[in-house]
């Protein structure tokens, strides 16, 4: 027996590639094409005068950042938890809320990190199929009706990688049917025209809403995410966090994150621009014969009836355009294309027009 038999073996999450070549049009990980708010630059300058504070451990409650979020969302600071990207927050949520031993539920087509965390923490799970329209059927999440006792529920809204947004009425149905489970709504993509479930946290004490600075606040490189829910949920999350690693949010993240939240008009301007570009892009895709569920996120999940996903992905790549493509059977015909600038999306449309016009039909 070697020491390796004692090692925890995991199959890690596969993140989208981060190509080094700056000439590539990178539309594969849903980053924002615009720079962070101008105040972020001031915060970086201000950090110089606080360099000596780096001797010290940071504020483990990230109070300055939490208070800025509380002011932005008009809720009490006690209802907010921040972490190192929403992946960090979500991983802690799995550890904190999903330990009952009953299977947790999430959609069959969804953020592929969920089964990875479940496996890591040995949490059983059941994946619920989407409807043919790629929507969530709340009936499937109702334990009384389906006789499936669950240990918790998580789904993104809008869902990823489909981009489909569920109305709050549906989320409320799931919440009402599951008062004995924590329901986590992962709102990584909510700021591109979606309606947040945040106002529901005062009505449902089992609801946790998770968001990120990586998409709508142009700070994927800073790694900031946060959860909002009632004080009790947040308290449990903090207890686990402080049993794991107290000082995850460093001083620069706290200061830079605060600056980003404080500039509401820049946030509205950039998210508004992305929404406009997305709608224009959808029209152009339709004209080329692509099909896709309507997206409320900063990406579109599109397939073409005459060309395989793999072929389109490879052809785009040859033209220095990187999008996301998965080889799993249910979604292999689709590309997930992040919304970049107008100019970038024009280049994608031009490339797709060329590919679909000149290439052989790969499905024949
Ligand atoms: N949730 C969903 C649905 C995502 O697509 C992502 C981005 N990969 C995340 C959470 C995590 O984002 P981050 O850790 O950058 O906040």
Element (H, E) at 301: strand 299-302
Q: How many helices (H) and strands (E) does the chain have?
A: 11, 11
Closest CA to 179 of 153, 198, 156, 158: 153
220 lines ligand 1 (CB under 6 A): yes
The answer to whether residue 362 scores a pLDDT higher than 60 is no
Q: Which residue has the higher pLDDT, 191 or 148?
A: 191
85 lines ligand 1 (CB under 6 A): yes
Q: Are strands 299-302 and 335-338 parallel, antiparallel or unpaired?
A: antiparallel
Cα(187) to ligand 1 centroid in Å equals 9
pTM above 0.75, yes or no: yes
- Give the pLDDT of residue 212: 98
- Give the pLDDT of residue 17: 82
Q: Whose CA is nearest to atom 4 of ligand 1?
A: 188
CA distance 139 to 126: 15
193 lines ligand 1 (CB under 6 A): no
Mean pLDDT computed over 158-178: 97
The SS3 call for residue 251 is: helix
Cα(316) to ligand 1 centroid in Å equals 24
To test ligand 1's pocket by mutation, which of 14, 88, 111 has the most ligand atoms within 8 angstroms of CB? 111
- Give the pLDDT of residue 364: 42
Percent of the chain with pLDDT over 70: 98
Per residue in 262-296, pLDDT (tens digit) is 999 999 999 999 999 999 999 999 999 999 999 99
Per residue in 254-263, pLDDT (tens digit) is 999 999 999 9
- Give the pLDDT of residue 338: 98
Mean pLDDT computed over 12-33: 91
* Residue appearing with tokens 């109702």: 142
Q: Which residue has the higher pLDDT, 111 or 147?
A: 111
- Give the pLDDT of residue 361: 52
């Amino acid at each position: 027996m070697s020491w390796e038999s004692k090692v925890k073996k995991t199959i890690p999450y596969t993140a989208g590639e981060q190509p080094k070549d700056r000439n590539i049009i990178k539309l594969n990980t849903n980053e924002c094409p615009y720079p962070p708010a101008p105040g972020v630059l001031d915060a970086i300058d201000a950090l110089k005068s606080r360099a000596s504070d780096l001797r010290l451990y940071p504020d483990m409650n990230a109070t300055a950042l939490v208070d800025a979020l509380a002011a932005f969302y008009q809720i009490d600071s006690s209802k907010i938890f921040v972490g190192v990207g929403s992946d960090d927050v979500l991983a802690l949520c799995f550890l904190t809320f999903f330990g009952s031993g009953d299977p947790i539920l999430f959609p069959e087509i969804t953020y592929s990190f969920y089964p990875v965390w479940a496996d890591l923490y040995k949490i059983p799970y059941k994946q619920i199929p989407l409807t043919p329209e790629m929507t969530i059927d709340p009936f499937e999440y109702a334990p009384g009706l389906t006789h499936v006792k669950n240990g918790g529920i998580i789904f993104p809204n809008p869902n990823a990688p489909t981009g489909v947004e569920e109305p709050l009425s549906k989320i409320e149905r799931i919440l009402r049917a599951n008062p004995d489970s924590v329901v986590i709504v992962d709102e990584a993509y909510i700021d591109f025209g979606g309606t947040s479930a945040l106002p529901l946290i005062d009505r449902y004490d089992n609801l946790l809403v998770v968001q990120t600075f990586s998409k709508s606040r142009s700070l994927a490189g800073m790694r900031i995410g946060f959860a909002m829910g009632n004080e009790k949920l947040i308290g449990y999350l903090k207890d686990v966090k402080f049993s794991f690693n107290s000082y995850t949010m460093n001083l620069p993240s706290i200061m830079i994150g605060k600056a980003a939240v404080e500039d509401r008009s820049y946030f509205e301007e950039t998210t508004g621009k992305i929404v406009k570009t997305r709608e224009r892009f959808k029209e152009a895709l339709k004209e080329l014969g692509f099909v896709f569920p309507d997206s409320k996120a900063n990406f579109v999940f599109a397939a073409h009836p005459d060309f395989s996903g793999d072929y389109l992905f490879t052809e785009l790549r040859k033209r220095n355009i990187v999008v996301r493509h998965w080889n799993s059977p249910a979604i292999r015909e689709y590309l997930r294309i992040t919304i970049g600038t107008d100019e970038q999306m024009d280049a994608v449309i031009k490339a797709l027009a060329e590919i679909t016009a000149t290439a052989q039909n790969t499905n024949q």
